[in-house]
Chains A and B, each alone.
Chain A
Amino acid sequence: MSTNQLFYTLQIADNALILGHRISEWCGHGPILEQDIAITNTSLDHLGQARSLYQHAADLFNALSSAEKTNCFASAALQAKISKGENLTEDDLAYLRDGWDFRNVLLVEQPNKDWAYTIARSFFYDAYNFCFYTELQKSKDSALAAIAEKSLKEVTYHLRWSSEWVIRLGDGTDESHARIQEAINSYWAFTGELFEMSVVDKAAGEVDVNALKPVWLQRVTTVLDEATITVPKDAWMHSGGKDGRHTEHLGYILAEMQFMQRAYPNMEW
């Protein structure tokens, strides 16, 4: 068993956890009761996927040799557990890893700002996630294939929901059009990383994300056209998240999300 399969699983899990957390920030703040519940449901879908993936990642980690385990994470809290020979759980991976050990793409950690930015970020990611999980169903790793198959049903609904919101806002009032266009333009620069083959992606030999780009672009273009939104031109793209180089926003997310377990280790509620 190599560490690469662990990192590959974490890459997928971290996307689910961080986007799920970001979206959960809307809970109780939605623009209307019904959409508050809708977006919170979606958040729970992402967190559920993250749990399955972290459980699998923990199994992969615990099966490694002790030499391999020592070199997996730089996070001090995890190293402390590993040096004592303890097994890791899904919670350890979510709550005790520092930012540089997270492998999520930069897109999912970007702030909610307003409804338009939230929708734009979800739309870009949902369209990618739909293509990605469709391919991941063929994974050599039967656990990943099973998670992909289950998640795809949820993701299909996410994509439908976010696509409809892009169309509603784009084809709505002058103000909603201007706002969603601005959000699409702003977060466009974070879409390139989705299709970059990281070192881990290349070594995993699983989904060729680079090959997903044309399918994604066609899907996105169709929706943006219907929304009367101009598709941004290809420009310079941010990247680094898959290698653990994050924007400042991830630190704030982790501070809020991990505080309880860091301050009160092993607490349950």
Chain B
Amino acid sequence: MNQLINKNLYGDYGDKENAGGASGSHDTSSEWPLWEVFIRSKAGLDHKHAGSLHAADAQMAIENARDVYTRRMEGVSIWVVESKYIHASDPGESESMYEPATDKIYRHPTFYDLPDELKHM
């Protein structure tokens, strides 16, 4: 007798879609766009990158950011920007981009004798 045994695991319910993206590529065309979230923790400080999330538009992105990233009083101001508008430097070019700076310590203002009266440098 051919019997189909359905083993239910924790978290199995509903439409039984593949979890964890095991199937490899899946169509992302129907997904909401990705947004980067920046949070200012208190007035006077800079906005800092907090993470990313999905949202249908900017309004929803701000509200999602409020619910995902500020629910433990992390912030007083939120910026969001669609991830596709972030332009990043190429990690493959890091040798030419950043290494030339490593042997030029004279660019730090540490070669000046400061009078003792000067406290906050």
Task: Tell me the A residues contacting B by CB distance below 8 Å.
Answer: 29, 32-35, 37-38, 41, 160-161, 164, 168
Contacts and interface: CB of A to CB of B under 8 A. Distances in A.
Contacts of A33: 53-54
Interface stretch (B42-50, B56-64, B88-96, B97-105): B56-64
Given A29-B13, A29-B14, A34 B67 contact: yes
B60 A164 contact: yes
B67 A38 contact: yes
A160 B67 CA distance: 13
B71 A34 contact: no
Contacts of A41: 67, 71
29 contacts: A29-B13, A29-B14, A32-B32, A32-B54, A33-B53, A33-B54, A34-B53, A34-B54, A34-B55, A34-B64, A34-B67, A34-B68, A35-B64, A37-B64, A37-B67, A37-B68, A37-B71, A38-B63, A38-B64, A38-B67, A38-B68, A41-B67, A41-B71, A160-B63, A161-B63, A164-B59, A164-B60, A164-B63, A168-B56
A34 B65 CA distance: 8
Contacts, number: 29
B78 to A, nearest CB: 13
Nearest to A38: B67
A37 B63 CA distance: 11
A41 B71 CA distance: 8
Interface centre among B13, B59, B63, B67 (most CB of A within 10 A): B67
Nearest to B61: A34
A164 B32 CA distance: 16
A165 B67 CA distance: 15
Contacts of A29: 13-14
B95 to A, nearest CB: 38
A37 B64 CA distance: 8
Pairs of residues from A and B, 6 with the lowest C-beta to C-beta distance, nearest first: A34-B64, A38-B67, A37-B67, A34-B53, A41-B67, A37-B68
Nearest to A39: B67
Contacts of B67: 34, 37-38, 41
Given A35-B64, A37-B64, A37-B71, 6 more contacts: A32-B32, A34-B54, A37-B67, A38-B63, A38-B67, A164-B59
A211 B42 CA distance: 41
